Amino acid sequence: MISKLNLSFVVFSLFASAATQSQITDAPKDATAMSLVQSCLSSMTPGSSATDQSVVVVATLRLYGDQNIDFPVVIKSRGSNLVRTEITTKQGMRIFILNNGHGLIRYPDGGLRYLSEENTALQRANHIPFFSLLSEFSSKEVALEYVGESTKDGAAVNVVALSAFRGATVEEQKNWMNRTRAYFYLDKQTGYLNSISYPNYAENDLNVVENFEVKYSQYKQLNGFLIPTQQDTYSDGHLFSTLLVESIGPVAPLQDSNFKFSE
């Protein structure tokens, strides 16, 4: 027979065990994936590998449709998670701001649209592969998995998956990982990032999702940066856009005001 004291202890232990299972822990990291990512980053390290490096990229963005349209683009970034993209359109400047996993579009008429965190949680300065999410593989808020070996457009690749790791319970953490899992394809021969694929959700309905894939090619050394000068984005297998990089260079530290959501 269990005494009242012992019964209380047993009940407490059961609740304590359940609480422990739901506590936040650091994101899981696969050792093989960590080694592969470190090797990839090493092969793409810029002349200045400061994690808060300010960089400006000048490019042309080509959108495909019945008639292809080219837009002048300037992308300003500081480190991996502060990005300001300025697209010149006939109506004026359209600005996309990414700030630590939160995103906003500012339209030429002054209108604003805040973007779903499911779409922005893992977005980084992906146009510069060294400053992509790979650079944050050791973060306690980024899960890292080894998927295996494969081929991509004829190239042998290693595949790793990164996802957002957040939430107050184990279930929430798993849900975030499942919703945001992005696959990174690492070229075995060059060591460079070959491509990234990730889910893109409709802003008003998380049940509507398409697969985005960015393919990197024409890598060049420009002003100390190794950058793919052609970056093709596909939506569910159809070519959607191409970013053609014209120049890249380090600049004096960009001020916080560049990445604020309000003017």
Tens digit of each residue's pLDDT (9 = 90 or more) over 108-134: 999 999 999 999 998 999 999 999 999
Residue 237 domain-assigned (yes or no):
yes
140 in helix, strand or coil?
Answer: coil
The structure's pTM equals 0.88
Domain that holds residue 101: 40-257
Where does residue 208 rank: exposed (0-12), middle (13-18), buried (19+ CB within 10 A)?
Answer: exposed
Where residue 261 falls (left for φ over 0; alpha for ψ -120 to 50; beta otherwise) is alpha
Residue 248's CATH number: 2.50.20.10
Q: Where do we find the tokens 């420009």?
A: 222
> What's the average model confidence in pLDDT over 4-30?
54
Provide CB contacts within 8 A for 36, sequence distance 6+: 146, 158, 160, 186
The mean pLDDT value of the chain amounts to 90
Residue 263 domain-assigned (yes or no):
no
How far apart (Å, rounded) are the C-alpha atoms in residues 17 and 160? 32
Res 47: pLDDT = 67
Domain count, the chain: 1
Residue 91 domain-assigned (yes or no):
yes
With a cut of 90, say whether residue 26 has pLDDT above it: no
Residue 31 domain-assigned (yes or no):
no
How far apart (Å, rounded) are the C-alpha atoms in residues 173 and 163? 10
Comparing 14-18, 53-57, 242-246, 247-251, the range with the smallest average pLDDT is 14-18
How remote is the C-alpha of 234 from its chain's centroid? 16
With a cut of 50, say whether residue 9 has pLDDT above it: no
